[in-house]
Amino acid sequence: MYIPFNQLPSHARLWIYQANRPLTDAEQAEIKPLLERFATEWSSHGKGLQASAELLHNRFLVLANNETATAASGCSIDKSVNFVRELEQRFGVTFFDRTRLAFLQDGQVTLVGMSEVKEKVKAGEINKNTLYFDTLVDNYGELQEAWPRPAGTSWLSRYF
């Protein structure tokens, strides 16, 4: 069962996938109905999930499920991964590269390789107040309250 993204309960579980490039307006227009259809049809052991999906900041694909209604099983999570892989193939984008971190700088999402973070901090290009899109956020409430969040309040705090 599809739930509009903005009507998710704060405890809804999230899976955030970061694109390796911005999605164009045309791509987003084509992807959004696919997301809604997937969320509508997404199920766990034959029982429909109370799910939603959204594209944020032209870069992030977010899948969500109200776990108190029906928990996502391993098989249903596998279905979601397969769906995201299909989107990758169809649109020539990568959603599974976890080696690049996303920051909001000058109103734009910028990606920084994990191996470059120390250099960027040392050069002052990233500091504890630089906004960071933590893809490890796992619930809707946290996404609404602190996403992006200052890098110094994330696991990146060890660099400052």
Q: What is the pLDDT of residues 81-125, one digit of tens each?
A: 999 999 999 999 999 999 999 999 999 999 999 999 999 999 999
How much is the pLDDT for 138?
93
Reply yes or no: is the peptide bond before residue 148 cis, omega within 30 of 0: yes
pLDDT given at position 40: 94
Q: What is the pLDDT of residue 74?
A: 86
Token code pair at residue 14: 């999230």
Return the pLDDT at 150.
97
- The pLDDT of 13-36, averaged and rounded, is 97
Backbone angles phi and psi of 121, in degrees to 5 = -65, -45
pLDDT at site 70: 83
For the record, the structure tokens of 105 come out as 């700088």
Per-residue pLDDT, 87: 98
pLDDT at 156 over 90: yes
Mean pLDDT of the chain: 95
pLDDT band, very low/low/confident/very high, at 68 (cuts 50, 70, 90):
confident
pLDDT mean over 64-82: 90
E strands in the chain: 13-18, 43-44, 47-48, 51-56, 60-65, 100-105, 108-113, 131-133, 149-150
pLDDT score of 43 more than 90: no
Residues near 53 by beta carbon (within 8 Å), at least 6 away in sequence: 5, 35, 36, 38, 39, 61, 62, 63, 64
Is the pLDDT confidence value at 71 over 90?
Answer: no
